[in-house]
């Protein structure tokens, strides 16, 4: 009986340590902050501190990193998707907070198992889109 009590005590202690260590993780600060604007129904204009303003640019994102998109494209919902098509089908929601933002912030913590290519696409306009290259 003493042996069983010892084993249970050790198991409870270990699980408490694991719970505490998992609960201490803080969200990662964004590696880059992109500003997304829409001047017409044909392109998103994206820029960042170390990234010049460009129309529908290809962006390279690293697995395991977090990115913030400040979307100032009212009326042009900004979705991260697996296919380069408008609408809400094929949205990629893993690691994405606020997918479909059109006048708000979207956070993307790129999962380790994210596909090599994703897309950002306006819900309404197919031409407002670009590629997200995902690298290790």
Q: Kindly report, residue by residue over 4-43, the tens digit of the pLDDT.
A: 444 334 433 333 433 334 444 566 899 999 999 998 899 9
How far apart, in Å, are the Cα atoms of 51 and each of 30, 46, 83, 122?
15, 8, 24, 21
| Residue that has been written with the tokens 């950002």 in this structure | 120
CATH of the domain at 100: 2.60.40.420
Nearest CA-CA partner of 33 in 72, 69, 66: 69
> Which residues form the domain of 84?
32-135
Q: Kindly report, residue by residue over 32-41, the tens digit of the pLDDT.
A: 999 999 988 9
Is 27 contained in some domain? no
Q: Kindly report, residue by residue over 63-108, the tens digit of the pLDDT.
A: 999 999 999 999 999 999 999 999 999 999 999 999 999 999 999 9
Q: How many residues does the chain have?
A: 136
């Amino acid at each position: 009986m003493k042996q069983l009590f010892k084993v249970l005590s050790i198991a409870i202690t270990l699980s408490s340590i694991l719970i505490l260590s998992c609960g201490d993780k803080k969200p990662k600060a964004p590696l880059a902050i992109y500003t997304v604007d829409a001047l017409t129904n044909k392109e998103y204009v994206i820029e960042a501190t170390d990234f010049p303003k460009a129309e529908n640019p290809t962006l390279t994102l690293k697995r395991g990193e977090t990115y913030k998109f400040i979307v100032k494209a009212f009326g042009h919902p900004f979705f991260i998707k697996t296919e380069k098509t408008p609408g809400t089908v094929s949205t990629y929601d893993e690691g994405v907070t606020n997918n479909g933002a059109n006048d708000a912030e979207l956070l993307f913590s790129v999962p380790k198992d994210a596909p090599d290519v994703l897309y950002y696409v306006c819900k309404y306009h197919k031409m407002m889109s670009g590629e997200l290259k995902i690298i290790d």
